[in-house]
Amino acid sequence: MLPDSRQIASDIRRALEEDVGRGDLTAALVPRNHGVQAQLICRQEAVLSGIAWVDEVFRQVDSNVELEWHLGDGDRLNENQPACSIHGAAASLLTAERTGLNFLQTLSGTATVTAGYVAAVHGTGVNILDTRKTLPGLRLAQKYAVTCGGGVNHRMGLYDAILIKENHIAAAGSIAAVLKKARHLHPDVPLEIEVENLDELGEALEAGAGRVLLDNFSLQQLREAVKLNGGRARLEASGGVSLDTIRAIAETGVDDISVGALTKDVQAVDFSLLFTD
């Protein structure tokens, strides 16, 4: 889901403050009223994401700048394909350029990587999930980019779902005890528990877990986990996931695969802003 416009505006204010600061000294060399046409061009095959952030950058720098997008978020771009035409004061375009491109290349990078993982499991019925391993301050933006690439958002943060991990279990005393307490405190909140072996999976299932994360299971262990589960809980595989391994993981019969690399190991998409007159 696209974040609230106020959140996007806040993202842009912070980004412009760190880049423009007290003013763009170089853009001041350009005549204030000199109007230009420009294009945002993608230099590689990619999935587009981040239009609202780019629009907001130009709006905050100069609301008179006009942008015409030729595609939408989630659309595929070919190498050297124009994504957007821009008209406005040259100085404004120069001031907004880097901040706008930073958002566009980062979010399109997240969407593009996600699309690659989604394509790798096509036909298996498995969902590709994101994680909380996001760039600080860009959680909602990157989570949105994941959906542009065909992925599915897991929890947004610590506030909207419970994911019980090994340290939570250790502190509570047992899998059964921590699940019981979680249900008592937050009966209406999505609940998942992480297990590290088949014995722990058995305990979680006996305690009525409805969703279980299988942490760093081998392919054989994943197959055994699916068999042991027998459809009782939704199973998520995590750990050791790459484009080379994800298809085999999906074919074990798990329901979901979470991939930290979608948002953590971002490879920016190459975009350029070029004046055309």
Active site members: 98, 133, 165, 194, 215
Question: Residue 214 and residue 185: Cα distance in Å, rounded?
Answer: 24
End-to-end CA, the chain: 37
Reduce the secondary structure of the chain to three states and give it as a string.
CCCCHHHHHHHHHHHHHHHCCCCCCCHHHCCCCCEEEEEEEECCCEECCCHHHHHHHHHHHCCCCEEEECCCCCCEECCCEEEEEEEEEHHHHHHHHHHHHHHHHHHHHHHHHHHHHHHHCCCCCCEEECCCCCCCCCHHHHHHHHHHCCCECCCCCCCCCEEECHHHHHHHCCHHHHHHHHHHHCCCCCEEEEECCHHHHHHHHHCCCCEEEEECCCHHHHHHHHHHHCCCCEEEEECCCCCCCHHHHHCCCCCEEECCHHHHCCCCCCEEEEECC
Amino acid (1-letter code) at residue 12: I
Place of tokens 């880049």: 19
- Residue 52: exposed, middle, or buried by beta-carbon count in 10 A (0-12, 13-18, 19+)? buried
